[in-house]
Amino acid sequence: MMESDEMLAAMSVCFASVERDEWKQLTAQPVWSGFLDAARRALQDDDVFGEPTSPISRARKRCPLQEFLSAGEVRALFAPPTYDEKRAFEARHFTGGLTDSALPVESLYATWSHGTLPSPFSRCAGMYQGDSARYMKDLVERMGMGVPSQFAACPDHLALELDLAAVLLRSGARDAARQFLAERLAWLTAYRMRLLKLGPSAGFYIGLVDVLLGIRTQLASEAEAAGARAGCESRTGHEANAGAEVVPLPNTNRSHACI
């Protein structure tokens, strides 16, 4: 059964340029059906996202993806593009500077900078190397890794963001991974609107984006509920916790070969 980190890594491959053999391996059965099942679990399970699948969750009957996605998106996800079709879509839409470009890069769909330093581009959108790009480059380097050369101009590419979230989950930093996804995936609403303008040929990618937006919605709801519980506990147990010992967290900054 595919776990959450494997599902995110698989999505990363969908938005990245990969070799033919890697794509064929991902979209072959039973791997692709395992990916779709992981997507269903992520959208509807009560388990916290990123936690290992429990035996109860494994046995639970789930609703079909049609409950969460459009019929066209479901059809596209159940019949992923061939390698040649994927390459053709990338050439038309995942290449910058073209009329039909729809690069999955956060800076292009978010405010370029929210910094305090004056700049004529600060409140602009549609530009590379914004705040999100600088944040991603710094985060990858602080984790002891490097930005792959194909993402040097756009460290905030969706493929890299998803792969980094998968690395955090594998490293045991699950809370950090959930917070990272909740924060980083907000731009996908605007990106989805861009994909919709491309027509039916983008159905596969719109379906993937809707799965990610569904996951982000769940993470935001969980964070809001956790914050409410924490506030309640803080008000009722402040005096009892005032002298509690602070236990340091273990170091989860592990080294990885690459993203």
Cβ–Cβ < 8 Å for 224, 129: no
Position 242 in a domain? no
Q: Average the pLDDT over 159-170 and give the result.
A: 97
Q: Which domain range does residue 66 map to?
A: 4-104+157-232
Domain count, the chain: 1
pLDDT tens column, 181-209: 999 999 999 999 999 999 999 999 999 99
Q: Note if the pTM is more than 0.85.
A: no
Residues present in the chain in total: 259
Position 127 in a domain? no
Q: Average the pLDDT over 208-212 and give the result.
A: 97
Q: Average the pLDDT over 234-248 and give the result.
A: 48
Query: Which range (44-58, 81-95, 126-140, 143-157) has the least confidence?
Result: 44-58
Query: Which range (19-23, 54-58, 68-72) has the least confidence?
Result: 54-58
The answer on pLDDT for 99 being more than 80 is yes
Return the pLDDT at 47: 74
In sequence order, the 6+-apart residues with CB closer than 8 A to the CB of 11 are: 162, 208, 211, 212
Position 259 in a domain? no
- Reported as a pLDDT band with limits 50, 70 and 90, residue 230 is low
Position 42 in a domain? yes
Position 117 in a domain? no
Position 136 in a domain? no
CA distance 18 to 27: 13
Per-residue tokens: 152? 């040097």
Position 238 in a domain? no
Cβ–Cβ < 8 Å for 128, 154: yes
Element (H, E) at 71: helix 71-78
Average pLDDT, the chain: 84
The answer on pLDDT for 221 being more than 70 is yes
- Reported as a pLDDT band with limits 50, 70 and 90, residue 220 is confident
pLDDT tens column, 62-79: 677 888 899 999 999 999
CA distance 54 to 40: 15
- Reported as a pLDDT band with limits 50, 70 and 90, residue 258 is very low
Q: Residue holding tokens 């491959």? A: 13
The answer on pLDDT for 235 being more than 70 is no
CA distance 232 to 167: 33
Return the pLDDT at 129: 81
The answer on pLDDT for 25 being more than 50 is yes
- Reported as a pLDDT band with limits 50, 70 and 90, residue 32 is very high
Q: Omega into 64 within 30° of 0, i.e. cis?
A: no
- Reported as a pLDDT band with limits 50, 70 and 90, residue 211 is very high
Per-residue tokens: 174? 């699950």
Q: Average the pLDDT over 73-86 and give the result.
A: 97
Position 258 in a domain? no
Return the pLDDT at 53: 73
